[in-house]
A and B are shown apart, each in its own frame.
Chain A
Amino acid sequence: MSSVKTQAQPTQPVKLRPGNIQLDQQGKLRHFLAIEGLPKTVLTQILDTAESFTASDEKKFELLKGHTIANLFFEPSTRTRTTFELAAKRLSADVLNINISASSSSKGETLLDMLRNLEAMHVDMFVVRHGSSGAAHFIANHVPKHVSVLNAGDGSHEHPTQAMLDMFTIRQHKPDFPSLRVAIVGDLMHSRVARSQIHALNTLGVGELRVIAPKTLLPVGIEKMGVQVYQDIEAGIKDVDVVIMLRLQRERMHGAFIPSEHEYFKLYGMTEARLALAKPDAIIMHPGPINRGVEMDSAVADGSHSVILQQVSNGIAVRMAAMAMAMRNPDGSSAS
């Protein structure tokens, strides 16, 4: 393992959420809304708890028997919702899947009315995906003390369980974060996954964190989040240990943010030749679903460096960990 020089400290970020609503008074996970604001100990505990689930021979645990979890999805999702559902079931919780299409939420029922109704059905935990940034925070600020909220993606803000399953996958292969050089490639502007990953990697003390994208896909001020910015993928990927590719939404191609899929692939697409610039034992990740031939070649996606399918299976254990840790008793105390 070669040593990586630690970066100069990034500009001190703005302190957010002074009274951290994600933690209870004992410092335990209360809601899981964002990676930002959580200490390293909590992130490590999520990883360790997830590891205890994967290490066990059991497939089913009784930890959340008698608890009800509602999957509240305001945006369509199959994979994320399925893994949350599977995670809840493996913990023996009762699961309620509620898909709210844009049309039904525009019938005049406010989000708060809907929450009140669900609380009356004695739901103990909301897993929320919403198109608006801050939606999970909003809900967490309006639930009673025995209800906890898990963010399954809010707008372009955060997707903390996805980032934690990525950290879990990285740790399986490369457990020493301070020695790692990591590059995130693609649409950082719109990616909630990327924001969560950046906070997680920095909190876990990664040695060097790079982001690689054209200027149209980089949010203003991203360097203040503790990353090195690259436009040139060849320079950015050189000698990295971990490459994280981001998904590029269809509606952002064809002239809106990039001129074409073809040109994007030419400039930022991951090929075997480019991956060869990274460390020989580098791993390559993608939150899925992959646009083959846009973000990466099939040869890379299915090649020996790819850990993409491991990410998917790790998703269940990480979500089980977050659920088990955040679940509350009726008196508001931690159920774990």
Chain B
Amino acid sequence: MSRIHITGGHLIDPANNVDVVTDLWVADDKIQAIGDAPDGFTADQTINAAQQIVCPGLIDLSARTREPGQEHKATIASETSAAAKAGITTLVCPPDTQPAIDSPAIVELIHLKSREAGMSRLHMLGALTCNLGGELISEMLSLKDAGVVGMSNANQPVPNSLILRRAFEYAATHDLTVFIRPDDHGLSNNGCVHEGALASRLGLPGIPEAAETVAVARHLELIEQTGVRAHFSQLTTSRAANMIARARHDGLPVTADVAVHHLYLTDIDIRDYNSACHLNPPLRSERDRDGLRDAIKHGTIDAICSDHQPHEPDAKQAPLPDTEPGLSGIDTLLPLVTRLADEKLLSLSDAIDRVTRLPASILGLEQGHLGIGASADICIFDPKASWAVSADTLNSAGHNTPFLGWEMHGRATHTLVNGQLIFSKDHD
């Protein structure tokens, strides 16, 4: 076990209200001390964090590694390694792998692969219904015992409300959180971009705002009835955010996240049939983007994730409707989140809170803070490091990002998981 002394860094630990330049002492997987060295502590390794931010490792609520099933796009090894280099210490993988995460065997396989990779932690959401088919409730208790952190039907529908109600009741029975990506498939109707003036001009099939809001309304009713603990994933519309705010005001303990790119991009970015902006859920209007920013600012939306969906180049090389949706987001999560502080939407501490303490609390994980005794999942980053997004600077196997060419500020220099240094820019 290595004993690490992190010296002179600017420690930001939102959970403990810490925002100060200090030293951190790590041993036996845990934070041993903050400030002065514990008695008799001799470090094997010292990390000079002067001019850098030291914060809890980032926790990404939605990142697909594409394994098992689509290893030509990316693998557990490639993406957990990219995560480590991006300061993300925990990834949460939705259940739509191939095969879907609906049996303990798949959970074990993914755990095994991620242990072999030895990089960032990889957690899983189990399939709410067998094979995500929306018809049969999955073996939630077995999946929970195997280690899933929640249940989800990913982007697949559960058309029958009775089945959805029973799935919620069963999840509640086992104290499992249900993660919901709200989408009424009838209304989204194989659309590929936000329904609006731009989609109409480009002749692209639209996904109306109501595809999200109708689904949110339906799920809220069943959440209230069944008492299940629920989290809404990747909201894209201002109206849906308002619905969540109202439900919370009425006492329903639901949480929500947004994918960070929805705080920056809109459907206008598709204008030239830019397939890098072909996303699911889709980029929405400027009004929606501004509404989501308000919801983040006021805390209606708790957490921020990358909604990482890496692809091989061919997947994006076709007329837009024929391309595969999704962007590769692991590499840009940290700088896009800290940019919200640069733009004065949030304080830096609050911005970090949205990708550390809050996702940890949604998942029921012990990580996400750096108090004494906490598990030492640490991100050290240089807030001033400026880098341009390009194929050369991306670590994910997927280079499908609409942020290509953007100038980013902030890059991880060291990442620790469970007290182990898994990434150091000095050795990269």
Contact = CB atoms under 8 A, between A and B. Distances in A.
A16 B271 contact: yes
Interface in A92-149: 110-112, 130, 132-135, 137-138
B319 A133 contact: yes
Nearest to B273: A134
Contact of A220 (B196, B268, B318): B196
B201 to A, nearest CB: 7
A86 interface: no
Contacts of B128: none
Nearest to A15: B271
A202 to B, nearest CB: 12
A16 B197 contact: no
A295 interface: no
A110 B318 contact: yes
Nearest to A156: B203
A13 interface: yes
Interface stretch (A221-229, A231-239, A275-283, A300-308): A221-229
B59 interface: no
B366 interface: no
A225 B318 contact: no
Interface string B190-231: 000001111111111110100000000000000000000000
Nearest to A157: B203
B145 interface: no
A97 B185 CA distance: 39
Contacts of A134: 202-204, 273, 319-321
A261 interface: no
A13 B201 CA distance: 10
A14 B317 contact: no
Most buried by B among A110, A133, A137: A133
B167 to A, nearest CB: 31
Interface in A209-253: 219-222, 224-225
B385 to A, nearest CB: 31
A183 B147 CA distance: 63
Interface residues of A, number: 28
B322 interface: yes
B428 interface: no
Contacts, number: 84
A155 B201 CA distance: 12
Interface in B273-314: 273, 314
Contacts of B250: none
Given A157-B203, A192-B203, A220-B196, A14 B319 contact: no
A208 interface: no
Interface string A8-23: 0000011011000000
A195 B201 contact: yes
B36 interface: no
A135 B319 CA distance: 5
A158 B201 CA distance: 9
A224 B196 CA distance: 10
Contacts of B198: 14, 221
A162 B172 CA distance: 59
B44 interface: no
A36 interface: yes
Contacts of A16: 201, 271-272
A327 B271 CA distance: 27
A260 B268 CA distance: 36
Nearest to B205: A156
Interface in A156-212: 156-158, 192, 195
Contact of A132 (B271, B272, B319): B319
Most buried by A among B197, B314, B317: B197
Contacts of B199: 219-220
A111 B321 contact: no
14 contacts: A13-B201, A14-B197, A17-B272, A111-B317, A132-B320, A133-B204, A134-B203, A134-B204, A137-B273, A137-B319, A157-B204, A195-B201, A220-B197, A225-B201
Interface of B: 195-206, 208, 268, 271-273, 314, 317-322
